[in-house]
Structure 1
Amino acid sequence: MANSANAKESKEEIFRKMEETAHRLMEEYEFVDATTPTIARGYTRAHGDYAFRVVPTGEPIPDATFVSAVYSTQPQGCDPAAGTAECILHSSAAKRELLAYPGYPTPLPHAPGGAGAAQACPPYRIVNIPHKGLGMVAARDLAFGEVITNERPLLVAPQYILLDFIRWLRAPSGWENQQVALFETQRFYRMAYERMRGEDKVAYLQLYNAHAHDGSGPLLGVQRTNSFLMFELQGVPYCGVFKDASRMNHSCSPNTIRRIDRTSLSMQMFAARSIKAGEEITSSYCDPLLPSAARQAKLAPYGVRCTCSGCLKPVESDKNRHRINSTKDAVPAIIQWAGSPGLPEGLLLGPSVEVLRLIEAEEQEANEVHERVLYHLALIHDALELMGAPRPEGAGYRGKWMQLTALDRARSFGALAKYKEDREKVRAAVLSRRRA
């Protein structure tokens, strides 16, 4: 998500060429367009005749069977200094679900000195990184679990926008079909872009666009290049584009953990492990536990060639990552072991510690498997303590698992409740083991 170092055309020039190409295709294939482009607020509605129009906010929706897009600035009336997001929502029901989320809206969490307050010593800087363009580096040493970014998106939109209102009187080729579809999707984004504050418009178009020459247009191209998956509304996945967080470059061994906070419509990035001052802060654009060749194939459209330790030693790393990825929920096995007097006390501890060491060696602390293995180790140690076995010094698995869980306040309470329930099952199993 770095800036393009070789951009030869201005954003407006790309806009102009995109408009010219799209209008030519629309004329060639007799595309029916009933847009009212001067209205930038409210609902964009699509009828069965494939024409679409805009219904201003406040007017009744004429037909519930229409396909719609709702434009909304969120959150409203809460923490204005922290900024707002322009939202393209696929229906009025999606907007109602967004607004009805428990606790919404609230100020940004974890902000020192109050919501939107600037930190005395910011944890990161945006700098030029050789061969990558702009990226994010640590401005100081960062500890595991420390907040790095705490940010509302510039734009929130569905991962895919349905274009049911498009028709051609003559069937186009696949490429021409794609070009017109990309152009019409770009129009959705332009309506949202025009609603942004001036500084947000500048920040959005300064983000790298890996799709500048495939017909996406500058706004859609930026979204396709820089968006993070956030949440679902009415079963539809939504993504966000961020001013700073979208600057993070890729690594198959990322050093950040991403958490979405629905109540504040924001995303937090936490340090997945200790990060030294000057070290690059990274995220992962694909599943880092895939084989190296599969990861490189997924990164190729972004022009990314990862050189993390795992990609430089793919044979050894792929074997380790396959072992990590094979780790499944072991809670039933732990409970069974805890209640079986014929099984040795150290049966599960060694293999679990081995997987944890592989996770650390492959720098996969940001992966959900890390939290799962720590949870298993916490329960195993609970069982060993109840059995009277000596506790290894410096383990701290339970505490680290709780730290990880606390990073996601939406699910931390439920996770702790589940831990208490599973711990009680382990305790009951150990008591039965003693009686056997």
Structure 2
Amino acid sequence: MATKVKVQETNEELFRQMEEKSLKLMEEFKIQDSTSESRGYIRGAAFKYQVVPVGQPTPDEGALVYTTQPQGCEPEAGMVECILHSSAAKKELVDYPGYPTPIPRAADLTAPCPYRIVEIPSKGLGMVAARDLRFGELIISERPLLISPQISKIDFIKWTNTTTPRQKQEAACFESEKIYKVAFERMDPEAKETYMKLHNSHKHDGSGPLLGVSRTNSYGVFALQGDEYGGVFKDASRINHSCSPNTIRHFDRPSLAMLMVAARPIKEGEEITAHYCDPLAPYAARRKSLKPYGIRCDCPACLDPVKSDKIRYRISCVKDAIPAIIKWAGNPKLPDHLLLGPSLELLELMEAEGLEASKAYEQVLYHLFLIYSALVIRGKSEPSEVRIYQEKWIQLQTMRRRDREDVCAQLMEDTIRVAFAAQQHLGEMKMEEVEPRRD
């Protein structure tokens, strides 16, 4: 009982310290607010925020909410400072099914850490494989240092008649920096130091240091009340970009953790990469998206964009082919390998381009599973071919944290539809053999 009281007193003391820091910052902000007109704008309202103790309601729906999450679950795995647009957003966060749960871990807890943070030539710090990694292996499972809105609601600014576009941008950045500063002051010293060591590619567009680090290193994590939020991470934010990434990432809401898994085998010493933009977009669009990060990608796709753009455009056109597969499976007049050849060619193209992390790759795997399922029923293939694509597709789905039961239910439903069509095909073939031809 004494321990419980001591923990409660510690929590109350931490909250009191946070509240004191926040109030001190508010006084500093009032002084800055009085000089806003000299920067080309007028603040139309006071800075509204809430720092609410655990378990208490948030009284002002229209104010920003600062909260430390998750409460009561593996604090040693890291606590996350959150800037939320409203108390309704906080409620949606903590009411998520299963929240909070422990961070997902690798199956073998005795295995050495799969990665190292090292200097990458011309890229700064990055992540490399510390050992050979197999397809589907969990590389990192990490809570963010900070979660914040990807677009801050700066709706209290009133512009003067002489405000320039540059001043508008700088004013929005200036006000956003104040919002970030409250959250930053709530972090423990180690988290602050880690945050400020991350790269900042927004030093010359009006962004303050805290906002700049967030804009440079934030991954999209989830939406709350229709607003998108991003997270800044200690190690995951060190992973550099590639248009042919070798990881798949998924943000696990119940544990508030980013998971990154190997999308293909990764050799020891090979750089671990993620995508910062749509890897299937044309080279020019990717280059434009990466410009704010100061990135000039030198992956094979960017070194030969004419060839790569054609391939990636073809891959981007991949659509749901299940209706076509069912139609083919039930038509005895269509060749056995009508769909198999193009699908295998497409899969080979994707692997050559390093696009195993794309949703299109998963689609083609699934199409191949269904095509081979029909061919087995026709007596034109072996069950082992079916299993190759079935198992890999299921693994990719579960890597994205889709419920395995839901995945298997989808698999069963589509398999039955294709099998029924293939059986009809066999029936029609037999009828043609029995009935005499009429010339």
What is the match of residue 284 of structure 1? 275
1:270 equivalenced with 2:240 (yes/no): no
- One-letter amino acid of the structure 1 residue matched with residue 393 of structure 2: W
Question: 1:340-419 to 2 correspondence within 5 Å?
Answer: 340-391=331-382, 396-419=388-411
Task: Indicate how the Cα distance of structure 1 residues 383 and 145 shifts in structure 2: closer, same or farther if over 3 A, else same.
Answer: same
State the SS of the aligned residue for 1:409: coil
- One-letter amino acid of the structure 2 residue matched with residue 388 of structure 1: G
What is the match of residue 96 of structure 2? 101
**Retained in 1: the 8 A contact 2:246–2:263?**
yes
Q: How far does residue 50 in structure 1 lie from its aligned partner after superposition?
A: 2.8
1:422 equivalenced with 2:414 (yes/no): yes
1:110 to 105, 121, 137: 105
Q: How far does residue 293 in structure 1 lie from its aligned partner after superposition?
A: 2.1
What is the match of residue 181 of structure 2? 190
What is the match of residue 125 of structure 1? 116
Q: Which moved more, 1:392-401 or 1:72-81?
A: 392-401
**Retained in 2: the 8 A contact 1:144–1:272?**
yes
What is the match of residue 28 of structure 1? 38
**Retained in 1: the 8 A contact 2:50–2:66?**
no
Task: Tell me the distance in 2 between the aligned counterparts of 1:61 and 1:404.
Answer: 40
**Retained in 1: the 8 A contact 2:49–2:64?**
no
State the SS of the aligned residue for 1:384: helix
User: Which has the larger helix fraction?
Assistant: 2
Task: Indicate how the Cα distance of structure 1 residues 300 and 54 shifts in structure 2: closer, same or farther if over 3 A, else same.
Answer: closer
Q: How far does residue 334 in structure 1 lie from its aligned partner after superposition?
A: 0.8
Task: Tell me the distance in 1 between the aligned counterparts of 2:303 and 2:40.
Answer: 52
State the SS of the aligned residue for 1:264: coil
Task: Tell me the distance in 2 between the aligned counterparts of 1:55 and 1:249.
Answer: 35
State the SS of the aligned residue for 1:366: coil
1:322 equivalenced with 2:310 (yes/no): no
Q: How far does residue 156 in structure 1 lie from its aligned partner after superposition?
A: 0.8
Gaps of 5+ in 2: 1-28, 429-439
Task: Indicate how the Cα distance of structure 1 residues 408 and 298 shifts in structure 2: closer, same or farther if over 3 A, else same.
Answer: closer
Gaps of 5+ in 1: 1-18, 34-48
What is the match of residue 82 of structure 1? 77
What is the match of residue 53 of structure 1? 48
Q: How far does residue 192 in structure 1 lie from its aligned partner after superposition?
A: 0.8
What is the match of residue 305 of structure 1? 296
- One-letter amino acid of the structure 2 residue matched with residue 166 of structure 1: I
- One-letter amino acid of the structure 2 residue matched with residue 374 of structure 1: L
**Retained in 1: the 8 A contact 2:321–2:367?**
yes
What is the match of residue 433 of structure 2? none
Q: How far does residue 112 in structure 1 lie from its aligned partner after superposition?
A: 5.4
- One-letter amino acid of the structure 2 residue matched with residue 358 of structure 1: L
Q: Which moved more, 1:312-321 or 1:408-417?
A: 408-417
- One-letter amino acid of the structure 1 residue matched with residue 105 of structure 2: H
Task: Tell me the distance in 2 between the aligned counterparts of 1:414 and 1:260.
Answer: 19
What is the match of residue 67 of structure 2? 72
- One-letter amino acid of the structure 1 residue matched with residue 419 of structure 2: R
- One-letter amino acid of the structure 2 residue matched with residue 101 of structure 1: Y
1:201 to 187, 192, 205: 192
What is the match of residue 138 of structure 1? 129
2:86 to 83, 88, 91: 91
**Retained in 1: the 8 A contact 2:146–2:233?**
yes
State the SS of the aligned residue for 1:352: helix
- The TM-score with structure 2 as length reference comes to 0.85
Task: Indicate how the Cα distance of structure 1 residues 228 and 155 shifts in structure 2: closer, same or farther if over 3 A, else same.
Answer: same
What is the match of residue 229 of structure 1? 220
Instruction: Deviation per CA, 1:129-172: give whole Å up to 9, x if none.
Output: 11111111111111111111110111111111111122245451
**Retained in 1: the 8 A contact 2:133–2:262?**
yes
Task: Tell me the distance in 1 between the aligned counterparts of 2:316 and 2:48.
Answer: 48
Computing the radius of gyration from Cα coordinates, the structure with the larger value is 2
Q: How far does residue 389 in structure 1 lie from its aligned partner after superposition?
A: 1.2
Task: Tell me the distance in 2 between the aligned counterparts of 1:30 and 1:394.
Answer: 67
- One-letter amino acid of the structure 1 residue matched with residue 401 of structure 2: R
Q: How far does residue 86 in structure 1 lie from its aligned partner after superposition?
A: 0.8
Q: How far does residue 326 in structure 1 lie from its aligned partner after superposition?
A: 1.0
Q: Which moved more, 1:351-360 or 1:301-310?
A: 301-310
Q: How far does residue 411 in structure 1 lie from its aligned partner after superposition?
A: 4.1
1:180 equivalenced with 2:171 (yes/no): yes
What is the match of residue 39 of structure 1? none
Q: How far does residue 391 in structure 1 lie from its aligned partner after superposition?
A: 2.9
Please tell me the root mean square deviation across aligned C-alpha atoms, in Å: 2.3
What is the match of residue 14 of structure 2? none
Task: Tell me the distance in 1 between the aligned counterparts of 2:40 and 2:351.
Answer: 58
**Retained in 2: the 8 A contact 1:149–1:270?**
yes
- One-letter amino acid of the structure 2 residue matched with residue 428 of structure 1: F
Task: Tell me the distance in 2 between the aligned counterparts of 1:190 and 1:400.
Answer: 45
Task: Tell me the distance in 1 between the aligned counterparts of 2:363 and 2:389.
Answer: 11
What is the match of residue 7 of structure 1? none
What is the match of residue 13 of structure 2? none
Q: How far does residue 413 in structure 1 lie from its aligned partner after superposition?
A: 3.1
Task: Tell me the distance in 2 between the aligned counterparts of 1:32 and 1:224.
Answer: 25
**Retained in 2: the 8 A contact 1:154–1:242?**
yes
Task: Tell me the distance in 2 between the aligned counterparts of 1:358 and 1:408.
Answer: 23
**Residue correspondences, number:** 396
- One-letter amino acid of the structure 2 residue matched with residue 306 of structure 1: C
Task: Tell me the distance in 2 between the aligned counterparts of 1:50 and 1:163.
Answer: 11
